[in-house]
Structure 1
Amino acid sequence: MGKKYAVITGCSGGFGTLMAIELAKNNFHVIATMRNMEKSHLLMEKATAERVQELISVQEMDVTSAESIEDLKTFLNNLSSVDVLINNAGYAGAGFVEEIPLDEYRSQFETNVFGTIAVTQAVLPFMRKQRKGTIINISSISGRAGFPGLSPYAASKFAIEGWSESLRLEMKPFGVNIALIEPGSFRTGIWTTGKKVTEQSMKKDSPYYAYMRKIQDYLDNGEPFFEDPIIVAKKAASIALEKNPGLRYPVGKGVRGRINLKKMLSWKTWEKVIMKTLYKN
């Protein structure tokens, strides 16, 4: 059997770093891409500790750059196959809608949505021609349930959910699998260093400031209970090894229950639960 190749975006930290190592441990040769190559040593140090450094190749790539995507295509032409793509690159935009400049929404979608689409379009011809492959899109519980103060992020993940459904139905006849991982709260830094709150909502003269603080406190108070991101990395590796993976994989304590609860409750009841949880006192 020939080598199995996996392309993963956003490998400079969080899920990306761990997924690269987990797939390498499962005998994939991983093309670990990242925008900031100065952080590549973090990945390679962990890979060396796990003795899989020879199965990981780090490539510079910005998912929002057309030139960068073209460089990826050129690189892929030298591979014998492209077996797995994991679209992981992303960040969380936050703030209250009235105060979020449209450019911040556009920036969120450029990375989380259009970046995912661009990388996928680069990989699809290879998978279609070889009539096999698996694409795993890292979504979120926020792609199934909206949350106040996180509309840019939630909107981008809702978009990825619908887009992935369409893509799965398009690629089924070609033997290409599409799957979604929907994590809950994990210790990846996306809600701390990775969250970009619009400037106005953090000003004390903002009409939303008190509510933004309550949401921030809610996230901060929950941080000690965030789960180990290795759980998501292992799930990604298991999906990559499946012959016929399903579409959606909720991951994390309470995630599946929260999704099911939203389905069961009327919107008015769901709304009351959220209001009581976030805006009490």
Structure 2
Amino acid sequence: MQPTVVITGATSGFGYHTAIKCAEKGMKVIATIRNEKKLKVFQQAGLEKSVEEKIEVWRLDVTKEASIEDFKNSVAKLERVDVLINNAGFAIGGFLEQVPIKDYRRQFETNVFGIIQLIQAVVPKMRKQKFGKIINVSSVSGLIGFPGLSAYVSSKHALEGLSESLRFELKPFGIDVALIEPGSFETNIWSSGMDLPTAVYDPKSPYEEYVKGIWKALNREDREDPRKVADLMTKLALSESLKKLRYPIGPGVRLNVFLKNTLPWRLLEKVVLSNLLGTHKKGSEEK
């Protein structure tokens, strides 16, 4: 029987490439897209007809109750759902003092509460069929804090804890849960996908020097091809089971997590702050 995978946030990046790769492997793909202007993204991709025919596009905004209800009704009509890949998400930048609480809520609506509702929609069907896989796309930011991204980081930390609990809850029903934890990849979350509230653009901000150092650090990172993550997610989607909870991927992820868990906090703090603040000062001196 042809397995069915539901992939959210399929407009670009990880979700887009995973949808194509899963279709190429013979899976029926439900690709959800929020922006109605991009609903034909796969028709315009120049795919082989046999691949394109396996991709069905649904419009879905995980922050809208009506859209979630439409999703639930559509899922109920499917013969089966073998895999749910929760990839939809975005990042809000800015220091906690600057970011209004409404923006923190907006961050969690997409990155946490939206995911919870989608999981609630597919679990009854997976439980009935006694099989299913839920793959939540987290980030290295779900394992390590980073200044200037507390809204995004805290949402990913929440997703990590949610997924741990969920794996325990669903394992007895034959449903596996796993986390993909990418490092630096070439996706639009760090460019057009970064949301900076108006309050962040304060010319008198006490964080001005700090921000310059952070952006310099972000921009100097080597970003890898997102298709590497898509390869991993496709492999997991096709596997019999998800043997591990966490799948870190990307340059430096394992090393950074190891250092966080090994180094005394005082030393780690000193290294991070001197790297960010020192980076900008050094750049200014060179000018």
TM-score for the superposition, normalised by structure 2 = 0.94
Shift in Å at residue 45 of structure 1? Answer: 2.6
Shift in Å at residue 244 of structure 1? Answer: 2.4
* 8 Å Cα contact 1:232-1:251 kept in structure 2: yes
Question: Cα deviation per residue 1:161-193 (whole Å; 9 max; x = unaligned)?
Answer: 000000000000000000000000111111111
Shift in Å at residue 42 of structure 1? Answer: 2.5
* 8 Å Cα contact 2:39-2:59 kept in structure 1: no
* 8 Å Cα contact 2:84-2:134 kept in structure 1: yes
Q: 1:274 aligns with which of 272, 275, 278?
A: 272
Matched residue type, 1:57: E
State the identity %.
48
Partners of 2:256 and 2:55 lie apart in 1 by 36
* 8 Å Cα contact 1:33-1:61 kept in structure 2: yes
Partners of 1:247 and 1:47 lie apart in 2 by 35
Counterparts of residues 99-118 of structure 1 (less than 5 Å)? 99-118=98-117
The runs of 5 or more residues in structure 1 that have no matched partner are: none
Aligned to 1:251: 249
Matched residue type, 1:65: K
Partners of 1:15 and 1:45 lie apart in 2 by 18
Matched residue type, 2:233: A
SS in 2 for 1:43: coil
Partners of 1:228 and 1:37 lie apart in 2 by 26
Q: Cα gap change, 1:177/1:66 in structure 2, threshold over 3 Å: closer, same or farther?
A: same
1:227 maps onto 2:249 in alignment: no
SS in 2 for 1:134: strand
- Which segment is superposed worse, 267-276 or 127-136? 267-276
Matched residue type, 1:152: A
Partners of 1:273 and 1:75 lie apart in 2 by 50
Shift in Å at residue 121 of structure 1? Answer: 0.6
Counterparts of residues 1-281 of structure 1 (less than 5 Å)? 2-46=1-45, 48=47, 51-222=50-221, 225-245=222-242, 246-280=244-278, 281=281
Partners of 2:102 and 2:234 lie apart in 1 by 35
SS in 2 for 1:42: coil
Shift in Å at residue 47 of structure 1? Answer: 6.2
SS in 2 for 1:97: coil
Matched residue type, 2:29: V
SS in 1 for 2:47: helix
Shift in Å at residue 77 of structure 1? Answer: 2.2
Shift in Å at residue 44 of structure 1? Answer: 3.0
Shift in Å at residue 209 of structure 1? Answer: 1.8
The runs of 5 or more residues in structure 2 that have no matched partner are: 282-287
Shift in Å at residue 100 of structure 1? Answer: 0.7
Partners of 2:108 and 2:137 lie apart in 1 by 14
TM-score for the superposition, normalised by structure 1 = 0.96
Shift in Å at residue 254 of structure 1? Answer: 1.1
Question: Cα deviation per residue 1:174-225 (whole Å; 9 max; x = unaligned)?
Answer: 0000000000011111111111123223322111122112212221222xx2
